[in-house]
Chains A and B, each alone.
Chain A
Amino acid sequence: GDSVTQMEGPVTLSEEAFLTINCTYTATGYPSLFWYVQYPGEGLQLLLKATKADDKGSNKGFEATYRKETTSFHLEKGSVQVSDSAVYFCALSGGFGNEKLTFGTGTRLTIIP
């Protein structure tokens, strides 16, 4: 079945550092890929998405590119801020007939001033 493997956390960085959180997936067909973010005490929020190979999703300075050849969707940000501290989840959806979201285990990110 479909699965998502995420970089193990927690990750601690200094403010303005470069961020990469790795995500790889296993799926049949052509899944859509997502990054969700969860702030303390809240539900998950969609951060960005990509629906086909070579698409780049971006939002709030975060980017991720759908790489079908390496089955990856790594999350990057050039300069992190304290407010980016949260748990980040990579997810995929199989599309029509397989609409459920399959999540990775999540990566806790802490940014130190």
Chain B
Amino acid sequence: NAGVTQTPKFRVLKTGQSMTLLCAQDMNHEYMYWYRQDPGMGLRLIHYSVGEGTTAKGEVPDGYNVSRLKKQNFLLGLESAAPSQTSVYFCASSYPTYRVSSYNEQFFGPGTRLTVL
């Protein structure tokens, strides 16, 4: 099993450009998440999804959009990139909380390092 995979691994954008980050998981998890990680700060939740066709906002959703057309994929879009969106982006997946509590840890992908000039 590959677990959680993310593409691309690195990307450099100019201000105003758009891009989509792709996350895929092969663990049949219902929940998926997008986080950003900045120096000196904890991981912050951007958007999340509790199932195919559903998405919701997290702590820092502004400037991002997401889609979950298939259970195994979760896309993060930047419509008009800004330098403040320079960060490392992580995707994660998990079982939902109504399942046995000992199995609701989140599994993370390797990350995408994005620089916006």
- Do A and B form a real pair? no
